[in-house]
Structure 1
Amino acid sequence: MVLLVGALLWTLRKPGIQGLGAEITDWQIIAAFLLFVADRIYNMMPKEVHQVVDPVLSTYTLPALVIGSIIVTTLIKFSISLYRRLEDVRKQNILQTQRIQQLLDAPPAQHKNCKLIRKLIINESIAQLSASENLQLVEECQIIDLEFFNWLRKQHLQQAPPPRDIILCVLIRMLKTKEEILAIFCITNENYRVMKSRARKRLGIEDDDWETFLRKLK
């Protein structure tokens, strides 16, 4: 009966519904499934085993089912939440890549008010910028360093580099010191080394002294 009611509620529940009703439905279905499996296993046991396990089952069955239901439900909820979070990050990265490619294909008109680029000029941290703000910062970087973006378009990269790579290159061309770049990105020296290595590969720069190479671009 519990399994039947749970199945009916699951069938009638609208997709995407959230809240207490959805939580109760999920819990009921999982609990019904565990009860059904436990009942089938118990019925398959010989009578001799029933006589031995009946006292134990009468004492521990309900607590075990409750704890088991909580554990299974928690794992399922966590897995779904993690999957959705990773999916959101993946979609956000795709949108960023598409937007940067659009910027490279058709540079926007110059902005009259460049608020974010000021952070780079005064060495203020950009670690807390949102994805949209990072894209806006990339747009503003074109205004102060159009030569670099012209070179970037000529590279015909298979995939547009992420905003951090572009901002890093602009900072290097602004003659920022390593300490200033570390402060702007709020990263350690080791993270900076890895960041430079990845940016160099993604941009297809073969010159070992790639910082000098970037500064000489015209």
Structure 2
Amino acid sequence: MLFGREGQERLDNAHVFIAGAGGLGCPVALYLAAAGIGTITIVDNDFIETTNLNRQVLHYEKDVGRQKVDSVREKLAAFNSQITVHAVSTTIDQANAADLVGDADLIIDALDNFETRYVLNQVAIEKGIPFIHGAISGFDGQATVLIPGKTPCLRCIFPKAPPKVVFPAVGTTPGLIGMIQANETIKYLTGTGELLAGRLLILDGLRGTTDSIEIVRDEACTACRETK
């Protein structure tokens, strides 16, 4: 294996927190389970709808009406019985976010709204936990790795939440971004390769291209300036 026995042991001993069990959360969870991440905590409060099935690949037709986290836990247990999956059905907010994250080694943003992303961004800063951001819209997506004290935080990049625009979600887009997030998770935990730290990867699915742009810390950031 590329990162050897020691790297695999690091994955086995790791605890990853995934916020969201939808289009991004499903491929992230699947590939982290395949990689042998020892403990996965996944949090979501939604129920599965038929319209989710084009992109939320761990949910099947028979699962419509079930809680998403229950579906994910069942699929991951069948896929890799050697890992532990904590499935929590609740809404992440300022009151519970820190407790939900607990002692996780990484926070993975598989959300669809910036309000909750900002809450987890703050938890990541306060706990000193890396935060792997991912977002999609139509054929487009983005991802980056945010490391408290070393890279910009989410509010440095997006001081205010972008306007809410509803686009049809193309199933392949969260698949691609979710796999990138899982890949960055594996790299971080095993100390392999160069992370997307300080860079925002941008996927243009219609052109079939990816680019990355440098991102810098905002000296006046209201979220992370105390960590400078």
Please give the TM-score of this superposition, normalised by the length of structure 2.
0.23
Q: Greater share of strand residues, 1 or 2?
A: 2
Q: Which structure is higher in helix share?
A: 1
Normalising by structure 1, we get a TM-score of 0.24
Say which one has the larger Rg: 1
